[in-house]
Chains A and B, each alone.
Chain A
Amino acid sequence: MDHRPPLTRHVSIPSSISSSSSGSMPLSRRSLFLGAAAFGVPAILAGCGSDAPSTAPGGSSSGGLGTVTLGSNASDEVPKKSLEAQIKAFTQGAVKVNTVDHNTFQENINRYLRGTPDDVFTWFAGYRMQFFAEQGLALDISDVWRDIGGDFSQAFKDQSTGVDGKQYFVPSTYYPWAVFYRKSVWEEKGYQPPKTLDELTALAKKMKADGLIPIAFADKDGWPAMGTFDILNMRTNGYDFHVQLMQGKQSWTDPKVRQVFDTWRGLMEYHQPAALGRTWQEAAQSLAQKKTGMYLLGMFVAQQFPEADRDDLDFFTFPEINPAYGTDSIDAPIDGYMVSAKAKNVDGAKALIKLLAQASSQNIATGLDPGTLASNSKADTSGYSALQKRGAELVSQAKHIAQFLDRDTRPDFASTVMIPSLQSFVGKPDEIDPLLASIEKQKATIFR
């Protein structure tokens, strides 16, 4: 199952780069590799994995809209099954699904969309969608939204809208970020969910005294710390500032940003040490094994809990820092579908995404994949697990929904600037000013 934010997944190493050595000749192959890195490898990657078309059973072309191709990054078992189940209901035509390894799909999205993309493809809401829409690679689907618009809240519509005010995306499922904990541990020790930063600090102190590591933390993969930064920034400076910062319109050397890192540094002593050598799975395990007290992560943290322990998992939203903003914003990344600008079967594609946006489709998805929530407000939530119900409640109370740092900003800024910078902060929390100056300088080279 895959809800991890995208820059992040385990990567299969391109076999063309893996090791093979021979005597004295390959120096000249070095330069060949440089060229291959620039041109060849992506194409090879784009080519692999797309050879598994499967025609959806029941999707016979009786409906007259012909065959619709769907490029899917749902390569993990649960999402794949979920998608297959959803498209079974498509009766207006046949659907051909091309599943590509999740990470490979993302890394090659540029080349994929410029080459011969499928009619419909899986993608993410927010800036990451707008980025590609702006380049003219996505099809305007405002007409679809005229039909389905009533099923979605304004927040979801906003996240599906490009900078030109047209819609390019239909939401499917999403998952909120919050602070997770084991109810049994908290009941035993008498802990209460904190409402303010001071209460959080007091709680963490108490946990430390009780022999627990208060806050589980891992950032080996580079992205989990983005979640901590997001929530601290939104709690301290509000959603609007956060979004402007992500879009490169605010300065990283602003005292407001400094304050975020100061707060984070204050909490660092309660974080699990040696975070840069740990994966989020290992940190989640430490929560499951009752070695740590709480863990700020997406709802997919439940994956790391054995089935029997899942009911023991609960969460609270990150506590208030600045009363002006309270707890009005959270990260809740939305996954969904877009139609490529080069789609061959536009009518079929629109009919398909309309189906995927339906409550009935999303009921299937949330039933099969308990780490997700339906975006369609008419979806049936009675089948939700306790955790899903709490998740839906959390999102409905939030005034602003952010998409997670690597979906709210330019992909190059997120991966080549923010990942190394946040890791550097986690390694040396005391060197804030030079770090922020460096981020600001690098930002200037990217947002030109």
Chain B
Amino acid sequence: MTAKTRRYSARDVTVLVAGLGVAIVVNVGLVWGPTLASVGLSATDWNGIGPIEWIGGRNYEDLAGTYPPFWSAVRNNVLWLAFLGVVATPFGLFCAVLLDRRLRMSRVYQSALYMPVVLSLAVVGFIAQLVFSSDYGVLNAVSGLHVDWLGDRAVNIWVVMVAAGWRHVGYVMIIYLAGLKAVDPALKEAAAIDGANERQAFFRVVFPTLRPVNVIVLVITVIEALRAFDIVYAINKGRNGLELLSVLVTENIVGEASRIGFGSAIAVILLVISLGFIVTYLSQLFRGEER
């Protein structure tokens, strides 16, 4: 009787264990393990050498209460997200729509806008220094200004966001361009026959059909904003107005400082912010599937 109800042969079980087991081990070992370890470490005081001391929420108190770069970093991350989401991404969409209309030399524009995407953000950071350096930068030399673009805390984050946006626009543009090419021209024709003007045809008909692309672009924008690191690190190591959460994590943990508990607390905050977006995105995705 037992032989009859057994649904899996020994071979099936082996395959199952090997297939699923490896995935689980990798997932737990590389994703959940380090994540939970970070959360655990964030409640400790540890310099990487001596004993680990449990201090509860004190790291978080110190972060919020006495560590000025923290709030500056939170503000910059939010600004970064807003800038990419409200300025750079719509501008990329705008470029894509224009290019989709088969202008003359549209290939040239397309290449010019897409060019920065092949550069790593660190390289964009170096380019930004050549342009914006107060003593040797092209901008000050050409315009005759004496603005300390990268050193003045009131200006530098905007300058850097423009440089990062320069790259982001091309990225978003190419994705939307691919999406727009895939939109059925019959839809636009139908809208035109129904008397829609161009603006209405785009916002009421074309844009809604781009929904899957919009989701991808949204996710990319959020990721880009939260993981921004290399550009500010290349410019001034993410200090003096260019603080970002990712930089503070590195600065505290990887550097000689070795404030591992403290750095982990910053990492956990970054994780919580990321989780907010992940949960929203996934719940949207699943709701869409159910429909």
Interfacial residues, chain A to chain B (CB-CB below 8 A): 6-7, 11, 13, 17-19, 21, 23-24, 26-28, 30-42, 45, 106-107, 109-111, 113-114, 135, 137, 220-222, 273-278, 282, 286, 411-412, 415-416, 419-421, 423-424, 427, 438, 441-442, 444-446, 448
Contacts and interface: CB of A to CB of B under 8 A. Distances in A.
13 contacts: A21-B223, A21-B224, A23-B216, A30-B271, A31-B271, A34-B38, A37-B267, A41-B250, A110-B256, A113-B49, A416-B259, A423-B239, A445-B62
A272 to B, nearest CB: 9
Contacts of B33: 35
A18 to B, nearest CB: 5
Interface of B: 30-31, 33-35, 37-38, 41, 45, 47-50, 62, 65-69, 120-122, 133-136, 146, 148-153, 156, 171, 215-216, 219-220, 222-224, 226-227, 229-230, 233-234, 236-237, 239-241, 243, 249-260, 263-264, 267, 270-271, 274, 277-278, 281
A30 B278 CA distance: 10
User: For A7, A33, A448, which residue has the most chain B Cβ atoms within 10 angstroms?
Assistant: A33
Contacts of A416: 67, 69, 251-252, 257, 259
Contacts of B243: 420
Given A21-B223, A37-B249, A424-B68, A412 B258 contact: yes
A111 B253 CA distance: 11
Given A21-B224, A37-B254, A274-B135, 15 more contacts: A13-B230, A18-B121, A19-B121, A27-B223, A27-B278, A31-B274, A34-B249, A34-B267, A110-B258, A276-B148, A276-B240, A412-B256, A427-B151, A427-B153, A442-B67
B151 A220 contact: yes
A109 B257 CA distance: 10
Given A21-B171, A38-B267, A424-B68, A276 B152 contact: yes
A101 to B, nearest CB: 14
A329 B135 CA distance: 34
Contacts of B252: 412, 416
B254 A24 contact: no
A329 to B, nearest CB: 25
Nearest to B119: A19
Contacts of B35: 31, 34-35
A34 B271 contact: yes
A-B CB proximity, top 7 nearest: A35-B34, A277-B151, A276-B151, A274-B148, A412-B257, A411-B256, A441-B66
Contacts of A419: 239
B220 to A, nearest CB: 7
Given A31-B31, A220-B236, A24 B215 contact: yes
A38 to B, nearest CB: 5
B240 A420 contact: yes
B30 A32 contact: yes
A277 to B, nearest CB: 3
A68 B120 CA distance: 41
Contact of B50 (A13, A135, A438): A135
A276 B155 CA distance: 12
A222 B38 contact: no
A27 B279 CA distance: 10
Contacts of A221: 236-237
Contacts of A21: 171, 220, 223-224
B49 A135 contact: yes
Contacts of A34: 34-35, 38, 249, 267, 270-271
Nearest to A272: B135
B253 A27 contact: no
